[in-house]
């Protein structure tokens, strides 16, 4: 089966896409634009898992907003009739070997059952000529904790179980170290990059789901995503990251990976943001702003987490108050001891001077 020609028209403003969807596709765009001088300006690309239904209920293929001049084909399990889209399964692709220059996949690997993930990788690499660009959330303490907190919040705020997050839990998030070991064992050269600062991701997800519970104003939802993308996303490619981008190079088809790495590596932030408030502070502000009313029976892990944090803060504040009182007492004792020492020195000086004067007067009479 051959891919259909790409469609260049795209009516939706990319800035109005969900902030994390924009972030991962933008990263893929930057990597592929960097390799065009050596491979070709027009690429044949397969996007596995790239079907999306917007909050307005419109079916779209987001990749078209970022790679409008390439020959694109999107495959996903959802039924749909969009041009350039077919329904199918990434674990069993009905294409010949090397049918596409590149295969991309965004936030799909975690929705593949764990035992099937090696087959998924094998298929993506089989139909790619040059390589695969895959973005997905990978397991880590911050990622797991953030997803559990978000899942509990959505249950408390909206009264529903978030389907994608539940599937993450049921299937288990992919392990980045095991993924890299699998690629190494196959002899595939690869690089990984952080994408989506976890504290920013959690704060935005809480904000977005809070709005879902308050209003169906789609313009407002899109404005929130656009605001983050325009003003808060510049340093989101840092650890700890919600997802990672994995670039895998097929053997014998040029060193495109170095060109992509030269474009992406300078965008990775390794320094902590100094002049801006931390995202953990922004998250705390969001909880206060939204006036979350916790019900112990309905919120479960969320209430426990917030209660533990509040207790920890109270304990730290109490310890700080005690420490400040101890420091103040020690300072007062130090001043008193210094005054006593000075008084003793003055008294000793007076005694010594008195003895000398008496001795001199006695000698003068002899």
What pLDDT does residue 329 have?
Answer: 76
What pLDDT does residue 180 have?
Answer: 97
- Give the whole-angstrom CA distance, residue 212 versus residue 196: 22
Q: Which of 255, 277, 293 is the last residue of a domain?
A: 293
Which distant-in-sequence residues (6+ apart) come within 8 Å of 276 by Cβ?
none
On whether both 230 and 324 belong to a single domain, the answer is: no
Task: Determine if residue 49 is left, alpha or beta; phi over 0 gives left, psi from -120 to 50 gives alpha, anything else beta.
Answer: left
Q: What range defines the domain where residue 356 resides? A: 298-366
CB 132, CB 124: distance < 8 Å? yes
What pLDDT does residue 65 have?
Answer: 95
What pLDDT does residue 283 have?
Answer: 57
The answer to whether residue 6 sits within a structural domain is no
Task: Tokens 């087959």: give the residue.
Answer: 119
Token pair for 298: 């309905």
The total domain count for the chain is: 2
Distances (CA, A) of 225 to 138, 228, 241, 284: 23, 5, 18, 19
Task: Determine if residue 329 is left, alpha or beta; phi over 0 gives left, psi from -120 to 50 gives alpha, anything else beta.
Answer: alpha
In this structure, the number of other CB atoms found within 10 A of the CB of residue 164 comes to 11
On whether both 176 and 319 belong to a single domain, the answer is: no
On whether both 92 and 232 belong to a single domain, the answer is: yes
Output the CA torsion sign for 100, 105, 109, 111: negative
On whether both 333 and 211 belong to a single domain, the answer is: no
On whether both 201 and 61 belong to a single domain, the answer is: yes
On whether both 275 and 316 belong to a single domain, the answer is: no
What pLDDT does residue 6 have?
Answer: 37
On whether both 56 and 148 belong to a single domain, the answer is: yes
Q: Which of 253, 272, 293 is the last residue of a domain?
A: 293
CATH label of the domain that carries residue 237: 3.40.50.150
pLDDT in tens, the chain (366 residues): 444 433 333 467 899 999 999 999 999 999 999 999 989 899 999 999 999 999 999 999 999 999 999 999 999 999 999 999 999 999 999 999 999 999 999 999 999 999 999 999 999 999 999 999 999 999 999 999 999 999 999 999 999 999 999 999 999 999 999 999 999 999 999 999 999 999 999 999 999 999 999 999 999 999 999 999 999 898 999 999 999 999 999 976 668 999 999 999 999 998 765 444 455 555 555 555 554 444 444 445 555 555 555 565 566 566 666 777 777 777 787 788 888 878 777 766 766 666 555 655 555 665
On whether both 267 and 315 belong to a single domain, the answer is: no
pTM of the model: 0.75
């Amino acid at each position: 089966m051959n891919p259909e020609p790409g469609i260049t028209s795209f009516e939706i403003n990319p800035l109005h896409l969900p902030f994390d969807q924009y972030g991962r596709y933008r990263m893929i765009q930057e990597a592929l634009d960097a390799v065009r001088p050596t491979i070709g300006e027009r690429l044949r690309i397969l996007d596995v898992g790239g079907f999306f239904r917007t909050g307005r209920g419109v079916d779209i293929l987001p990749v078209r907003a970022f790679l409008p001049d390439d020959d694109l084909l999107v495959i996903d399990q959802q039924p749909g009739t969009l041009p350039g889209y077919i329904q199918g399964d990434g674990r069993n692709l009905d294409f010949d070997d090397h049918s596409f220059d590149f295969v991309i996949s965004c936030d799909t690997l975690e929705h593949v059952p764990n035992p099937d993930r090696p087959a998924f990788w094998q298929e993506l690499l089989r139909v790619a000529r040059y390589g695969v660009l895959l973005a997905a959330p990978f397991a880590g303490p911050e990622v797991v904790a953030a997803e559990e907190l978000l899942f509990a919040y959505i249950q408390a705020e909206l009264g529903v179980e978030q389907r994608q997050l539940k599937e993450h839990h049921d299937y288990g998030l992919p392990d980045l170290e095991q993924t890299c070991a699998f690629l190494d064992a196959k002899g595939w050269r690869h690089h990984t990059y952080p994408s989506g600062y976890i504290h920013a991701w959690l704060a935005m997800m809480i904000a977005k789901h809070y709005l879902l519970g308050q209003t169906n104003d789609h313009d407002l939802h899109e404005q929130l995503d656009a605001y983050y993308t325009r003003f808060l996303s510049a340093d989101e490619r840092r650890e700890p990251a919600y997802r990672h981008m994995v670039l895998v190079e097929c053997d014998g088809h040029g060193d495109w990976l170095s060109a992509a790495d030269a474009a992406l590596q300078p965008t990775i932030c390794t320094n902590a943001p100094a002049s801006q408030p931390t995202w953990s502070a922004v998250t705390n502000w969001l909880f206060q702003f939204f006036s979350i009313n916790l019900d112990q029976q309905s919120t479960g892990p969320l209430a426990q987490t917030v209660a533990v944090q509040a207790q920890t803060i109270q304990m730290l504040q109490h310890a700080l108050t005690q420490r400040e009182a101890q420091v103040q007492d020690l300072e007062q004792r130090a001043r008193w001891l210094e005054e006593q020492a000075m008084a003793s020195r003055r008294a000793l000086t007076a005694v010594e001077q008195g003895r000398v004067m008496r001795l001199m007067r006695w000698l003068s009479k002899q």
